[in-house]
Structure 1
């Protein structure tokens, strides 16, 4: 019996020490493996309608800001520009004519007062004003036509990666309908979901250690940029027959909710691939424990 105690007591003490040490680590360094890589997704939306005549990118390719992604058939928009420029020229000539007629009538009225009725002079001035307005409208149409022609070339608004590309030359794209997804290269962050009980004394600016499942041996540091102030409510939401949905639970079990915590970081070394939606684990290093 005494021999058993000699072996048992040290084992119990060791186990207790391990448990206490583990608890202290969890208290000072909250950890979760429920985290994902996120980034801003830019939906590339053409501003004009037409068939694609040139596709300059391939699926899962990297692009730079200002790179051509694809070009829409510009022929109809060139024709619209030519028509608008002709209308602008016509409006310019109409304005010249109206000004000349007003100038002649004013000159005659000065030489021979009363030779031109006041009503005619007023009408001539109104004609000049109307011609000026018509010219301004024609110039606006020309400007719009130039913009539409420029919009036939769709360019990348930011550095990033093209993904899930399903376009081909000849595909008809529609104005204001998203066609391509561009992942902003400089917007990556990791979002971890921590139990509410783990976030005591955790604040914005605390450091964290991020480990991607794709690269388990290459952890890197991040910094908490924000901690969520709310999560979606499940109980009380409207269900069938407009009745509230209430999930059953046990009174003696209180499940801790998970709060989203965002970590921003400097881009890690080139051999680490950041891909939206991939899994990560995060350990918070509380400021008070540093």
Structure 2
């Protein structure tokens, strides 16, 4: 009988020791399954309005910086450029005319003092200044037309992946309205949401171990890059009829909030492709 009680006590003690050890490990190295892969997403936004006449990429394809994504019909912008160039030439001609008239009047005044009134000379100089201003404006219009013509070719601003492309040749795009998303391939990071009680003594550059749900056999190494300084409040936000939303809570329970921690991966196995939104588990190794 004594052996039976002793064996039971031994098993309970061993289980308690294991649980205590795991608890201490968890407190020393906080861990969460609430992690996601994030990356900077660039909204490709055309600067001019028009119809797409050439589509160089397909949905979910990789592109390099400077690659042509699509081209907008340039015909009307070429016409604007031609018109602006013509206006510039016209303004330059009017400036030459104003200078010639002023030069003639000044020479005549030198040969025959009093032949030209002071008011006439001043008006001729004002005409030159006005013609110069018109020429500058015409040049600016040419520059604007050249830029708009260049903007008909939409290129990738960085290396990355095109996703959610729903436009085709013939689609109409509007200036300053996003068309497609480009995920920057150099900007991936892991965002883990830890309970505020787990972040005591967690510091920047602490080592982190990341396991992806899709690739749970591989452990990725990283470092803590930053810890969030704030989260949105749930209670008090405006709801229906402009009344505040207040969630019911129990007085004897205080729920720990989740704070985002940004993890930058220090190594990535060859052939492993990160995708925005994938689930990850994160463990922080405190110093």
Q: CA deviation at 1:205?
A: 1.6
CA distance in 1, matches of 2:109, 2:122: 13
Determine if the alignment matches structure 1 residue 118 to structure 2 residue 118.
yes
Q: How many residues align?
A: 287
2:8 is paired with a residue whose SS is: helix
Kindly indicate whether the alpha-carbon contact (under 8 Å) linking 2:221 and 2:267 is maintained by their aligned counterparts in 1.
no
Give the structure 1 partner of residue 30 of structure 2: 30
Q: How do 1:1-290 residues align onto structure 2 when only pairs under 5 Å count?
A: 1-266=1-266, 268-287=268-287
Q: CA deviation at 1:267?
A: 5.4
Kindly indicate whether the alpha-carbon contact (under 8 Å) linking 2:66 and 2:156 is maintained by their aligned counterparts in 1.
yes
CA distance in 2, matches of 1:66, 1:257: 43
CA distance in 2, matches of 1:242, 1:47: 38
Kindly indicate whether the alpha-carbon contact (under 8 Å) linking 2:222 and 2:267 is maintained by their aligned counterparts in 1.
no
Is the deviation greater in 212-221 or in 132-141? 212-221
Q: CA deviation at 1:31?
A: 0.4
User: TM (normalized to structure 1)?
Assistant: 0.96
2:218 is paired with a residue whose SS is: strand
CA distance in 1, matches of 2:64, 2:122: 59
Is the deviation greater in 276-285 or in 1-10? 1-10
1:210-253 Cα offsets, whole Å, 9 max, x none, are 11111111111111111112222122333344443322222332
Q: CA deviation at 1:272?
A: 1.1
Change (3 A) 1:124 1:267: farther
CA distance in 2, matches of 1:196, 1:183: 30
1:39-68 Cα offsets, whole Å, 9 max, x none, are 111000000011101000011000111110
RMSD: 1.2
CA distance in 1, matches of 2:28, 2:171: 56
User: TM (normalized to structure 2)?
Assistant: 0.97
1:270 is paired with a residue whose SS is: coil
CA distance in 1, matches of 2:240, 2:150: 51
Is the deviation greater in 56-65 or in 261-270? 261-270
1:55-102 Cα offsets, whole Å, 9 max, x none, are 000110001111100000000010110011001001010000100111
4+ runs deviating over 6 angstroms: none
CA distance in 1, matches of 2:61, 2:238: 44
CA distance in 2, matches of 1:280, 1:201: 22
CA distance in 1, matches of 2:264, 2:161: 19
Change (3 A) 1:171 1:238: closer
1:153-183 Cα offsets, whole Å, 9 max, x none, are 0000111000011110010101111001000
CA distance in 1, matches of 2:242, 2:168: 46
1:100 is paired with a residue whose SS is: helix
CA distance in 2, matches of 1:76, 1:266: 49
